[in-house]
């Protein structure tokens, strides 16, 4: 009996050689327990070793293997071949990012943006470790916990047409992380993040398409985070205008 196969149409681009990406079809064994990443690894190991793509953990944690699968931003380690079989699968690099090679995109602009929002706990003054941990109530934890699951996979950036049109937009993941730390009772960095969040390319550039939350594989809901940042920045602005002692 011949082994069942499935066709992957993979976007290929060799820098300094190709002008445009071209699609190449590969026939791979159809295994019910294979994900798209397994099929890509099969191509690299057995058919064409020059195929380039990022991957690491294979379990939806590292956020490396984000690609467009049949036009949708997906973690390729989380989508099964069986869900597309007997149809063909189109694999392309994440849209809205420049392509480095094949399925690898340039993420350096994203890393710059991530750094700008200071996605870490900012303290006015650190207390000595001997004084113990910073305690939180369950309610304080609940305010930000939902936004801690971001794995920086950038699927939300590929789903966001605003980022596609305005590449300087800070974007969903970075803004969701800014909100996550602003809402953390241990953090004192909201005033430092204010300029980035309230900037023209910050939260106000979002027009609430909402697709970032649909694409997020970790159910972070960046769209909600950004709209709440808008409410927060509006309140801060009102305070700074109306109250002489209003803190920015």
Under the rule (CB under 8 A), what is the footprint of other proteins? Answer: 13, 15-16, 18, 20-21, 71, 93, 95-100, 106, 108, 111-112, 115, 161, 164-165, 207-211, 213-214, 221, 223-224, 227-228, 230-231
The nearest distance, CB 227 to other proteins, in angstroms, is 4
Q: Which is nearer to other proteins, 186 or 230 (CB)?
A: 230
Q: Which is nearer to other proteins, 26 or 97 (CB)?
A: 97
Q: Which is nearer to other proteins, 29 or 210 (CB)?
A: 210
The nearest distance, CB 93 to other proteins, in angstroms, is 8
Q: Which is nearer to other proteins, 13 or 181 (CB)?
A: 13
- Residues in a beta bridge with 66: 75
The nearest distance, CB 173 to other proteins, in angstroms, is 17
The nearest distance, CB 209 to other proteins, in angstroms, is 5
The nearest distance, CB 214 to other proteins, in angstroms, is 7
The nearest distance, CB 105 to other proteins, in angstroms, is 8
Q: Which is nearer to other proteins, 122 or 214 (CB)?
A: 214
Q: Which is nearer to other proteins, 201 or 230 (CB)?
A: 230
For helices 172-182 and 108-116, angle between their N-to-C axes, nearest 10 degrees: 20
């Amino acid at each position: 009996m011949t082994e069942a196969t499935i066709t992957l149409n993979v976007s290929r681009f060799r820098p300094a050689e190709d002008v445009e990406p071209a699609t190449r079809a590969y026939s791979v064994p159809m295994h019910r327990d294979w994900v798209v990443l397994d099929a890509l690894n099969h191509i690299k190991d057995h058919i064409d070793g020059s195929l380039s793509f990022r991957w690491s953990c294979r379990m939806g944690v590292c956020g490396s293997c984000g690609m467009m699968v049949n036009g949708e931003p997906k973690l390729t380690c989380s989508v099964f071949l069986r869900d597309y079989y007997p149809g063909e699968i189109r694999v392309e690099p994440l849209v809205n990012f420049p392509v480095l090679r094949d399925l690898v995109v340039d993420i350096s602009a994203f890393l710059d943006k991530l750094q700008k929002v200071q996605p870490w706990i900012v303290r006015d003054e650190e207390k000595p470790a001997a004084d113990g941990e910073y305690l939180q109530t369950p309610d304080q934890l609940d305010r930000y916990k939902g936004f801690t699951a971001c794995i920086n996979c950038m699927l939300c950036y590929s789903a966001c047409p605003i980022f596609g049109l305005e590449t300087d937009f800070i974007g969903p993941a970075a803004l969701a992380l800014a909100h996550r730390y602003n809402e953390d009772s241990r953090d004192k960095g909201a005033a430092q993040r204010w300029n980035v969040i309230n900037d023209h390319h910050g939260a106000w550039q979002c027009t609430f398409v909402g697709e970032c939350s649909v694409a997020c594989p970790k159910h972070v809901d960046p769209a909600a985070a950004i709209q709440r940042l808008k409410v927060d920045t509006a309140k801060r602005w009102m305070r700074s205008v109306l109250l002489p002692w209003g803190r920015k």
